[in-house]
Amino acid sequence: MIIRFAGDSGDGMQLTGDRFTATSALYGNDLATLPDFPAEIRAPAGTIAGVSAFQVHISDHDITTPGDAPNVLVAMNPAALRSQLVRLAPGATIILNADAFDDRSLSKAGYTEDPRADGSLDGYTVYEVPMTSLTKGAVTPLGVKPRDAERSKNFFALGLVSWMYTRPVDATIEWIQRRFVARPEVAEANTVAFKAGHAFGETAELFDHPFEVKPATLPAGTYTNINGNTALAWGLIAASQLSGLPLFLGSYPITPASDILHELSKHKNFGVRTLQAEDEIAGIGAAVGAAYGGHLGVTTTSGPGMALKAETMGLAVNLELPLLVIDIQRGGPSTGLPTKTEQADLLMAFYGRHGEAPLPILAPRSPSHCFEVAIEAARIALEWRTPVVLLSDGYLANGTEPWRLPDVDELPDLSVTFATEPNHVGDDGEPTFWPYLRDPETLARAWALPGTPGLMHRIGGLEKEDGSGNISYDPANHERMVQLRAEKVARIADHIPPVEVHGDVDDADLLVVGWGSTWGAVDGAVSRARQAGHKVARAHLVHLNPFPPNLGEVVRRYPRVIVPEMNLGQLAHQLRAEFLVDARPVTKVRGVPFTAAELEQQIIDHLKDQA
């Protein structure tokens, strides 16, 4: 069951959707969510630009996407209806706030005719509920002013939908009391509105019978509902604990990455230090400085900030210091679509620096997976003394899913060995410290922290002599250092898991290669295509640079390879260049994730195309 709440951006739709999600999780449903809101804080009320929506997919079986076409739309005004109608599944249920369908609101939404009367809602099950007036009627006896009374109508809608899907009521009422504890009159109004909506659903004859979505059967364990940015922040804290290095975040606020800064700034008792820097460059600069001092240095941003950080990332490549650069991708270029998702920063992560400046790149596949990938990114950064780019996106950042909590005792050990003694004998016979002597296997350089007696040394962005780290303009030395830095990153491939193939592993006619947040849609599409009798396999990349060691063999194994991505084919480009395979891009750059249905169709089309 896929439910979409839509209203004006001031109507509280995100809050309503969030709460419905939480109560569904408590009820035991598997779920996935997709917030969809405008970049403007408050666009003109009643207009299409101001529509804010929240989609939640609840299910009694394991699901991986927020769903394709909604089965239920709750539309708080005509603009919400008009903007969302195209998304609905055939025969979907529409619940309208009838009070909002006056001439003025209809015209603001761009309707010349009332859609309720002109036949454009034929084929849908439409319930018109005068939510505004019912809410006012319920809460004005409390002494709430009429204008304030109207503001509780999202809780009326929440109550109504909670009844429709038999969600537990008490948890939401308790939550309202907690959330509005500072304003008891608001808490009271919202509670009354919520109850009124619930009662309306129960007593009015609008609905024949309540919908019911039973709890899913998930693996045993303790679960919480989590979004990608929170999971990422917690993963960073975990990495700090596992490495024994205090966490330092240098960041500049930017949508959709700011919530990581917000979350980390709460957890100072873990030794977390956060700096809201003066700009994106200072954010990464401070993280580099902290890394030099022995902290786990992190910077978080989105595409525009990544562009600004490029020079400092090159410095970190050259200094060979551990650093995590986290890019929550959004629609670009330039300001682009700040609140919409996209995966178009992949090639920037690969190549967006001057000179030969390779660095490892990782991408989580789902909101909760951000936790694990943050730890993996820290592992690579610390062991190989390198900046690492972690590419999340707006969909993962704000989307939620139930997460089976890991056993913290089973998380990997990330402890670091710092240099404490000289590692070289100078020409004068005296022991000395050479910061660019390398581990023969990993090629990671020796790392001595300021404060360590006898190991004083200078590092910098100028090319360094292999070993000593002194400035060197020697041509052969430069070439050797360029190759050493590249080889160091390439060797990480020996220490990451091989890519797994799922589905018709042995005899697939087509392989779908995914990365990042397309995972859920790819999984759903491949399952459906296989159920329809097609031979299809899929492989999902978490490590994008270096690629898993078996990837070349995997992509050459199948007659057709398609690569769905929310860009114009960036991973496909890399696969073609790296492995000389005819990997075909399947692209979507609309600011919203692929749906499983879209990808299923693509799979079928590609199978036909070359059959």
Partner 1 sequence: MTDTLIPVTTRKDWSSDQDVRWCPGCGDYSILAAVQLLMPELGIKREDTVFVSGIGCAARMPYYMNTYGMHTIHGRAPAIATGLALARPDLHVFVVSGDGDALSIGGNHLIHALRRNVDITILLFNNQIYGLTKGQYSPTSEVGKVTKSTPFGSLDHPFNPVSVAIGAEASFVARTHDMDRRHMMEVIRRAFEHKGASLVEIYQNCNVFNDAAFETITAKANRDDMLIPLRHGEPIRFGADGDKGVVIDSQRGAHLVDVADVGEDALLVHDETRDDPSVAFMLSRLATGPHEPTPIGVFRDVMRPDYGGGVEHQVAAARDERGPGDLGALLRSGAVWEVS
- Residue 452 interacts with partner 1 (CB under 8 A)? yes
- Residue 422 interacts with partner 1 (CB under 8 A)? no
- Residue 450 interacts with partner 1 (CB under 8 A)? yes
Residues 457-496: x/- map of binding to partner 1 (CB under 8 A)? xxxxxx-------xx-------------------------
Q: What is the DSSP string of 406-442?
A: P-GGGSPP---PPP-S--EE-TTS-EE--TB-B-TTT
Nearer to partner 1 by Cβ, of 408 and 611: the residue is 408
Nearer to partner 1 by Cβ, of 147 and 354: the residue is 354
**Residues of span 402-421 touching partner 1 by CB under 8 A:** 404-406, 408
Minimum distance from residue 19 beta carbon to partner 1 (Å): 11
Minimum distance from residue 357 beta carbon to partner 1 (Å): 13
- Residue 250 interacts with partner 1 (CB under 8 A)? yes
Are the C-beta atoms of residues 398 and 231 closer than 8 Å to each other?
no
Tell me how crowded residue 414 is: count the other CB atoms within 10 A of its CB: 22
Q: According to CB under 8 A, which one of 132, 191, 225, 574 is a site residue for partner 1?
A: 225
Minimum distance from residue 256 beta carbon to partner 1 (Å): 20
Nearer to partner 1 by Cβ, of 23 and 84: the residue is 23
Are the C-beta atoms of residues 214 and 27 closer than 8 Å to each other?
no
Nearer to partner 1 by Cβ, of 410 and 441: the residue is 410
Question: Cα separations (Å) of 532 from 133, 360, 396?
Answer: 49, 38, 29
Nearer to partner 1 by Cβ, of 234 and 350: the residue is 234
Nearer to partner 1 by Cβ, of 158 and 238: the residue is 238
Q: According to CB under 8 A, which one of 10, 253, 293, 412 is a site residue for partner 1?
A: 293
In 131-213 the beta strands, taken as DSSP E runs, fall at: none
- Amino acid letter at 443? L
Nearer to partner 1 by Cβ, of 194 and 200: the residue is 194
- Residue 535 interacts with partner 1 (CB under 8 A)? no
- Residue 237 interacts with partner 1 (CB under 8 A)? yes
Of the listed pieces 115-123, 265-273, 381-389, 545-553, which binds partner 1 according to CB under 8 A?
Answer: 265-273
Terminus-to-terminus CA distance in the chain, angstroms? 35
Minimum distance from residue 539 beta carbon to partner 1 (Å): 29
**Residues of span 88-127 touching partner 1 by CB under 8 A:** none
Are the C-beta atoms of residues 378 and 360 closer than 8 Å to each other?
no
Minimum distance from residue 593 beta carbon to partner 1 (Å): 24
Nearer to partner 1 by Cβ, of 143 and 168: the residue is 168
Q: According to CB under 8 A, which one of 286, 325, 536, 566 is a site residue for partner 1?
A: 286
Tell me how crowded residue 373 is: count the other CB atoms within 10 A of its CB: 25
- Residue 160 interacts with partner 1 (CB under 8 A)? no
Size of the site for partner 1 (CB under 8 A): 68
- Residue 252 interacts with partner 1 (CB under 8 A)? no
Nearer to partner 1 by Cβ, of 138 and 291: the residue is 291
Element (H, E) at 307: helix 303-319
Nearer to partner 1 by Cβ, of 241 and 518: the residue is 241
Nearest CA to 344 out of 327, 332, 359, 362 is that of 332
Minimum distance from residue 543 beta carbon to partner 1 (Å): 24
Of the listed pieces 57-65, 141-149, 234-242, 540-548, which binds partner 1 according to CB under 8 A?
Answer: 234-242
Of the listed pieces 59-67, 279-287, 417-425, 519-527, which binds partner 1 according to CB under 8 A?
Answer: 279-287
Nearest CA to 360 out of 330, 323, 396 is that of 323
- Residue 279 interacts with partner 1 (CB under 8 A)? yes
- Residue 15 interacts with partner 1 (CB under 8 A)? no
Measured CA angle at 422 (ends 419, 424), to 5 deg: 120
Structure token digits, residue 31: 């779920």
Nearer to partner 1 by Cβ, of 227 and 587: the residue is 227
Q: According to CB under 8 A, which one of 144, 254, 260, 282 is a site residue for partner 1?
A: 282
Nearer to partner 1 by Cβ, of 457 and 478: the residue is 457
Element (H, E) at 489: helix 475-491
Q: What is the DSSP string of 162-174?
A: HHHTT--SHHHHH
Residue 178 exposed, middle or buried by CB count within 10 Å (0-12, 13-18, 19+): exposed
Ramachandran assignment for 77, one of left (phi > 0), alpha (psi -120 to 50 degrees), beta (any other): beta
- Residue 288 interacts with partner 1 (CB under 8 A)? yes
Minimum distance from residue 26 beta carbon to partner 1 (Å): 6
Q: What is the Cα–Cα distance from 469 to 465, expressed in whole angstroms? A: 5
Question: Cα separations (Å) of 178 from 171, 182, 186, 190, 266?
Answer: 11, 9, 11, 12, 19
Q: What is the Cα–Cα distance from 422 to 213, expressed in whole angstroms? A: 66
Q: Is 467 helix (H, G, I), strand (E, B) or coil?
A: strand
Are the C-beta atoms of residues 44 and 344 closer than 8 Å to each other?
no
**Residues of span 337-376 touching partner 1 by CB under 8 A:** none
- Residue 221 interacts with partner 1 (CB under 8 A)? yes
Q: What is the Cα–Cα distance from 366 to 178, expressed in whole angstroms? A: 29
Residue 19 exposed, middle or buried by CB count within 10 Å (0-12, 13-18, 19+): buried
Minimum distance from residue 254 beta carbon to partner 1 (Å): 17
- Work out the angle between the directed axes of helices 519-531 and 596-609 (0-180°, nearest 10): 60
Q: According to CB under 8 A, which one of 10, 15, 22, 509 is a site residue for partner 1?
A: 22
Minimum distance from residue 136 beta carbon to partner 1 (Å): 31
- Residue 285 interacts with partner 1 (CB under 8 A)? yes
- Residue 425 interacts with partner 1 (CB under 8 A)? no
Minimum distance from residue 241 beta carbon to partner 1 (Å): 5
Nearer to partner 1 by Cβ, of 189 and 226: the residue is 226
Q: What is the DSSP string of 332-384?
A: -STT-BTTS---TTHHHHHH-SSSS----EE--SSTTHHHHHHHHHHHHHHHH
Contact residues for partner 1, defined by CB under 8 A: 22, 25-26, 28, 218-226, 234, 237-238, 241, 246, 248, 250, 267-273, 275, 277-279, 281-282, 285-295, 297, 311-312, 315, 319, 404-406, 408, 450-462, 470-471
